[in-house]
């Protein structure tokens, strides 16, 4: 073999090896005293590995395609924002390769998007024009105007929420657990429990409505919505969006005015399959689900049992809509 060609191959292999080796693991707190210090020091492809403990701080991924992960899981690794805004921020165009895994996130109060005095957003995690991957996290007891535990706005692609718990969030407006505005979501294996909001106690999905160039698509599978509370839509509230739900449970949610388990509102298109609606309760209409102005909806192989509505529609109440199918 030509010596020049052999030298070229060796040089190329060394270059590739060095490139792979350049990805580093940064240790918190051994090498960096805070998680944010580790993020600042990290480069694309790096991992910030966090030891067990409680970290009183707020963090920002700064647009970096890195993994921030706990070494021992969310039960023993806590980030407490202590009322200092959003605990975790993705607001610099992060994508799915920006990964946050294995933390309890609490004590967040959210950030304002508009003028001072407007409602805050995303007490636990705040995403704006970003689409990260969130895995195995517990977002608990955060507060905000929208999205007490998690809020997303204008995501450029689908945000992945995998194996997470959203609990005890309190939102003044929408989404005690999760709030999404013009943002696609893929939610798998998650629990929404004991969240409170005016609308959509567990989850609120919204869009600009008719004529908007963006229509949110939300895919929910293998999730539980238990004991969430709202005036309208105790478990889930969706309008002007496409919703696909499979193998989920909606249990003991409360909608004081209407729609305890689920509300499909104006412009919603929904396909709900192999899911159960049990012991949801409202003083108004639609104990299990309320369909009000939907574009289309189908319920396939679903169970509605022991739901209650003081007015009518203990299982399901729907406005006149020829595009609603029950199988």
Residue 58 CA to residue 56 CA, distance in Å, equals 7
Burial status of residue 22 (CB atoms within 10 A of its CB: 0-12, 13-18, 19 or more): exposed
Provide the token pair at 221.
């599978």
> Which helix or strand (DSSP H or E) is residue 192 part of?
strand 191-193
Cβ distance 264 to 237 under 8 Å?
Answer: no
CA-CA distances (angstroms) from residue 3 to 11, 17, 104, 134? 12, 21, 57, 49
What phi, psi does 53 have (nearest 5°)? 150, 175
Cβ distance 280 to 314 under 8 Å?
Answer: no
Residues 6+ away with beta carbon under 8 Å from 179: 121, 122, 146, 147, 150, 151, 152, 171, 200, 203, 204, 206
pLDDT digits (tens, 9 = 90+) for 150-187: 999 999 999 999 999 999 999 999 999 999 999 999 99
Residue 181: the pLDDT is 94
**Please, what is the end-to-end C-alpha distance for the chain in angstroms?**
69
**Strand pairing class (133-135; 99-101):** parallel
Tell me 280's DSSP state.
-
Tell me which residue has tokens 């959003």: 86
Residue 261 CA to residue 263 CA, distance in Å, equals 7
Residue 86 CA to residue 108 CA, distance in Å, equals 5
pLDDT digits (tens, 9 = 90+) for 214-270: 578 999 999 999 999 999 999 999 999 999 999 999 999 999 999 999 999 988 999
Residues 6+ away with beta carbon under 8 Å from 124: 81, 86, 87, 88, 105, 106, 108, 139, 140, 142, 148, 149, 150, 166, 169
Segments of the chain scoring below 70 in pLDDT: 1-22, 115, 208-214, 320-327
CA-CA distances (angstroms) from residue 264 to 11, 168, 229, 244, 270? 60, 23, 16, 12, 8
Tell me 6's DSSP state.
H
Secondary structure of residue 130 in the 3-state scheme? coil
Residue 156: the pLDDT is 93
Q: Does the global pTM surpass 0.95?
A: no
Residue 153 CA to residue 291 CA, distance in Å, equals 25
> Which helix or strand (DSSP H or E) is residue 134 part of?
strand 133-135
Residue 91 CA to residue 64 CA, distance in Å, equals 11
Residue 211 CA to residue 226 CA, distance in Å, equals 34
């Amino acid at each position: 073999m030509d010596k020049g060609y052999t030298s070229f191959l060796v040089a190329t292999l060394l270059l590739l090896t060095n490139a792979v080796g350049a990805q580093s693991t940064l240790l918190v707190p051994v090498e960096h005293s805070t998680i944010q210090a580790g993020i600042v020091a990290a480069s694309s492809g790096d991992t910030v590995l966090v030891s067990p403990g409680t970290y009183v701080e707020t963090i920002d991924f700064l647009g970096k395609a890195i993994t921030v992960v706990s070494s021992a899981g969310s039960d023993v690794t806590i980030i407490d924002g202590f009322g200092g805004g959003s605990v975790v921020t993705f607001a610099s165009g992060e994508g799915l390769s920006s990964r946050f895994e294995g933390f309890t996130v609490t004590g967040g109060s959210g950030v304002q998007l508009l003028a001072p005095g407007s409602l805050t957003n995303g007490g636990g995690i705040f995403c704006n024009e970003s689409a990260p991957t969130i895995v195995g996290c517990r977002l608990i007891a955060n507060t905000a105007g929208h999205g007490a535990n998690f809020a997303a706005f204008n995501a450029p692609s689908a945000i992945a929420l995998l194996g997470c718990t959203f609990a005890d969030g309190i939102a003044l407006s929408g989404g005690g657990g999760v709030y999404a505005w013009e943002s696609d979501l893929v939610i798998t294996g998650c629990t929404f429990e004991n969240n409170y909001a005016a609308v959509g106690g567990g989850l609120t999905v919204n869009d600009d409505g008719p004529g908007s160039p963006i229509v949110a698509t939300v895919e929910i599978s293998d999730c539980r919505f238990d004991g969430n509370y709202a005036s309208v839509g105790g478990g889930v509230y969706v309008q002007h969006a496409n919703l696909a739900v499979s193998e989920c449970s909606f249990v003991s949610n409360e909608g004081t005015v209407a729609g305890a388990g689920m509300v499909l509102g104006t412009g919603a298109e929904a396909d709900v399959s192999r899911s159960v609606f049990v012991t949801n309760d409202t003083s108004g209409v639609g104990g299990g689900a309320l369909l009000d102005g939907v574009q289309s909806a189908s319920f396939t192989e679903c169970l509605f049992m022991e739901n209650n509505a003081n007015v009518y529609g203990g299982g399901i109440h729907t406005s006149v809509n020829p595009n609603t199918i029950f199988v």
